[in-house]
């Protein structure tokens, strides 16, 4: 699932997010991490979790549509704030056993989730260039982008040789619930597309290529065509930036 993703971008983003670990308390016996009183502010640069959850734009990353090549930008300060809020949620609020060694995987999941989301916007941009009748709809596109990102991480989880596949059975589901909480319109509707069948139908209806009805009635599975593109395009023709 990492094939084609820009590994340098992801690695730099993860490194930035992990800064500030000297502020943590680590239980010497268990290795469990606790964020001490007063440390959450500096770790998150004072950015409240609500700001990230309630926003109507992509604060963790964004996609700039093509005139020249499209660009996926990851926003390191907001990603870092989101990451430490998630760690706080799991370690301090829910008292789950987060070990220091888990932090890199949690950071990796947050960055990957954002990358896949922005990549989906890039994919839709390509579709609109291919099929000029295909119209942008903010809410549907955000919901599908979140669902795509969730599916990509879940597929990584199914493979035991990946970081997500090796994550603990307590941490992983708790982290996915926290990381995919969305309050704002569009984003929160991702659950409508949370399995392959509903995602494929949603993608088909959203992109709605011209003549898809005719193709479909002649036995061409247009959803599968779209899915094949979505899974294949990854590394081609998009620029990356970390701010």
Task: Write down the least CB distance from residue 115 to Zn ion, Å.
Answer: 12
Size of interface with Zn ion, in residues (CB under 5 A): 3
Whichever of 83 and 187 has its CB closer to Zn ion, that residue is: 187
Q: Pick the stretch among 14-22, 144-152, 160-168, 202-210 that binds Zn ion (CB under 5 A).
A: 144-152
Bridge partner residues of 239 (DSSP): 71
Whichever of 58 and 108 has its CB closer to Zn ion, that residue is: 58
| SS3 of residue 89 by DSSP | helix
Site for Zn ion in 7-46 (CB under 5 A): none
The token duo for 109 is 């999941």
Is residue 125 close enough to count as binding Zn ion by CB under 5 A? no
- Phi, psi torsion values for 61, nearest 5 degrees: -165, 170
Binding letters toward Zn ion, positions 48-87, x by CB under 5 A: ----------x-----------------------------
Whichever of 156 and 186 has its CB closer to Zn ion, that residue is: 186
Whichever of 136 and 236 has its CB closer to Zn ion, that residue is: 136
Q: Do 100 and 21 contact (CB within 8 A), yes or no?
A: yes
**Rounded-to-integer distance, Cα 105 and Cα 136, Å:** 34
The beta-strand segments (E) located in the chain are 25-26, 33-34, 61-64, 70-74, 238-242
Q: Pick the stretch among 44-52, 131-139, 141-149, 151-159 that binds Zn ion (CB under 5 A).
A: 141-149
Q: Pick the stretch among 2-10, 29-37, 86-94, 135-143 that binds Zn ion (CB under 5 A).
A: 135-143
Whichever of 102 and 142 has its CB closer to Zn ion, that residue is: 142
Q: Do 99 and 33 contact (CB within 8 A), yes or no?
A: yes
Task: Write down the least CB distance from residue 114 to Zn ion, Å.
Answer: 9
Burial class for 28, CB neighbours closer than 10 Å (0-12, 13-18, 19+): exposed
Q: Pick the stretch among 108-116, 123-131, 145-153, 228-236 that binds Zn ion (CB under 5 A).
A: 145-153
Task: Write down the least CB distance from residue 57 to Zn ion, Å.
Answer: 8
Q: Which of 74, 124, 145, 167 binds Zn ion (CB under 5 A)?
A: 145
The token duo for 129 is 């260039």
What are the residues whose beta carbons fall under 8 Å from the beta carbon of 210, sequence distance 6 or more? 131, 133
Whichever of 55 and 92 has its CB closer to Zn ion, that residue is: 55
Burial class for 202, CB neighbours closer than 10 Å (0-12, 13-18, 19+): buried
Task: Write down the least CB distance from residue 143 to Zn ion, Å.
Answer: 9
Number of H helices, E strands in the chain: 11, 5
Binding site for Zn ion (CB under 5 A): 58, 142, 145
């Amino acid at each position: 699932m990492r094939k084609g993703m820009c590994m340098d971008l992801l690695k730099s983003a993860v490194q930035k997010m992990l800064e500030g670990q000297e502020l943590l308390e680590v239980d010497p016996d268990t290795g469990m991490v606790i964020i001490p009183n007063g440390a959450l502010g500096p770790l998150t640069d004072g950015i409240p979790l609500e700001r990230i959850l309630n926003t109507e734009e992509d604060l963790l990353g964004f996609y700039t549509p093509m005139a020249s090549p499209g660009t996926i930008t990851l926003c390191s300060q907001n990603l870092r704030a989101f990451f430490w809020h998630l760690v706080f949620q799991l370690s301090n609020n829910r008292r789950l056993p987060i070990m220091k060694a888990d932090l890199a995987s949690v950071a990796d999941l947050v960055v990957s989730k954002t990358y896949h989301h922005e990549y989906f916007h890039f994919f839709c941009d390509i579709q609109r260039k291919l099929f000029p009748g295909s119209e942008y709809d903010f809410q549907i596109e955000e919901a599908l982008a979140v669902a795509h990102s969730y599916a990509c991480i879940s597929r990584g989880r199914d493979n035991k040789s990946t970081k997500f596949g090796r994550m603990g059975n307590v941490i992983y589901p708790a982290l996915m619930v926290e990381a995919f909480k969305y309050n704002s319109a569009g984003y929160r509707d991702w659950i409508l597309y949370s399995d392959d069948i509903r995602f494929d139908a949603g993608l088909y209806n959203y992109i709605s290529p011209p003549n898809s009805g005719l193709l479909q009635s002649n036995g061409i599975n247009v959803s599968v065509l779209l899915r094949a593109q979505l899974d294949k395009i990854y590394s081609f023709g998009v620029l990356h930036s970390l701010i």
